[in-house]
């Protein structure tokens, strides 16, 4: 169930802390072979244990941030196709997502971030090594919920379908999710083995997961996308991650 608003600082501020799922640390095989060059080579990566939002940030959660800060609302916030409380917030740029994470961190005293590409892929795989999708190898077109999840004209409310084995919902469908990294097509050639953070600079920020608008195009766990960090598209949202105490 999606969280309800909580009173913070003796009732002075309403905000919603995301429900988090624990993602165990360890090695996994990142990337793929036989699809796109920027997904290869498949390589062994270690990520430290962390927590990931069970859901992408919703309109209800994001509205708390807007009211508290006066931040500019997304361009689709008053569009009835996109503004139900439990739909994922869309039309947020990478900068908007960063601003939200910083605000949430400041108000709660916890350290929220966007996940790196490595953290996102580790979380999406849910411990299913070598599988194409968060649920296994079954093509999306053969799933019974295909029409609702990939052929809709808007994002669905979060949490309507089964989560992956780490308890994460809609990871691979519904909306593209911003990551913290700069995107580098050749980054896997030089990526460090432990906790890779992406290139030090770039022109586009990385994103992961499929969306209602792109159907199954990038729903695979290893599929990579990127976008100008200032763009605000109707199929782009985000979810937060949180490092465990002592690893921030």
175 and 209 Cβ atoms separated by less than 8 Å? yes
pLDDT at site 24: 98
Q: For residue 22, what is the DSSP state? A: E
In a domain, 124, yes or no: yes
How does pLDDT run across 85-104, given as a tens digit for each residue? 999 999 999 999 999 999 99
The rounded distance, in Å, linking the Cα atoms of 187 and 170 is: 26
Comparing 113-117, 185-189, 218-222, the range with the smallest average pLDDT is 218-222
Q: For residue 137, what is the DSSP state? A: S
In a domain, 197, yes or no: yes
> Per the structure block, which two tokens stand in for 125?
């795989």
Number of separate domains in the chain: 1
The overall average pLDDT reported for the chain is 92
Structural domain including 28 reads 19-243
Dump the DSSP string for 63-132: HHHHHHH-PPPPTTTT-TTT--TTSBP-S--HHHHHHHHHHHHHHHSS-EEPPPHHHHHHHHHTT-TT-S
Q: What is the mean pLDDT of residues 180-196?
A: 98
The rounded distance, in Å, linking the Cα atoms of 170 and 29 is: 21
> Given CA atoms 164, 166, 169, 172 in this order, what sign does their dihedral have?
negative
In a domain, 200, yes or no: yes
82 and 154 Cβ atoms separated by less than 8 Å? yes
In a domain, 3, yes or no: no
The rounded distance, in Å, linking the Cα atoms of 12 and 3 is: 19
In a domain, 9, yes or no: no
In a domain, 1, yes or no: no
Comparing 6-10, 64-68, 112-116, the range with the smallest average pLDDT is 6-10
- Residue 211's beta-bridge partner residues? 215
How does pLDDT run across 52-96, given as a tens digit for each residue? 999 999 999 999 999 999 999 999 999 999 999 999 999 999 999
In a domain, 184, yes or no: yes
The rounded distance, in Å, linking the Cα atoms of 231 and 218 is: 19
116 and 181 Cβ atoms separated by less than 8 Å? yes
Residue closest to 128 by CA, chosen among 230, 231, 19, 222: 222
How does pLDDT run across 143-168, given as a tens digit for each residue? 777 766 767 889 999 999 999 999 99
At 191, which CATH number?
A: 3.90.1580.10
pTM here is 0.93
Is residue 5 over pLDDT 80?
Answer: no
């Amino acid at each position: 169930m999606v969280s309800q608003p909580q009173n913070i600082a003796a009732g002075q501020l309403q905000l919603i802390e995301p429900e988090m799922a624990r993602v165990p640390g360890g090695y996994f095989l990142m990337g793929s072979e036989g699809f796109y060059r920027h997904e290869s080579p498949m390589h062994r990566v270690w990520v430290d244990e962390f927590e990931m939002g069970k859901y992408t940030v919703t309109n209800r959660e994001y509205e708390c941030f807007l009211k508290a800060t006066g931040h500019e609302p997304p361009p689709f916030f008053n569009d009835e196709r996109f503004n139900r409380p439990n739909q994922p917030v869309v039309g947020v740029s990478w900068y908007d997502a960063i601003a939200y994470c910083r605000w949430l961190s400041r108000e709660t005293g916890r350290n929220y971030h966007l996940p790196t590409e490595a953290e996102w892929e580790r979380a999406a795989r849910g411990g299913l090594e070598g599988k194409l999708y968060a649920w296994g190898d079954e093509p999306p077109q053969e799933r019974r919920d295909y029409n609702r999840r990939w052929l809709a004209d808007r994002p669905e409310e979060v949490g309507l379908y089964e989560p992956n084995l780490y308890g994460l919902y809609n990871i691979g469908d519904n909306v593209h999710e911003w990551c913290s990294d700069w995107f580098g097509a050749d980054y896997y050639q030089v990526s460090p083995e432990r906790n890779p953070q992406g290139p030090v600079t770039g022109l586009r920020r990385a994103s992961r997961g499929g969306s209602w608008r792109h159907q199954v195009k990038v729903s695979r766990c290893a599929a990579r996308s990127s976008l100008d960090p200032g763009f605000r598209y109707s199929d782009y949202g985000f979810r937060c991650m949180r490092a465990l105490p002592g690893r921030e």
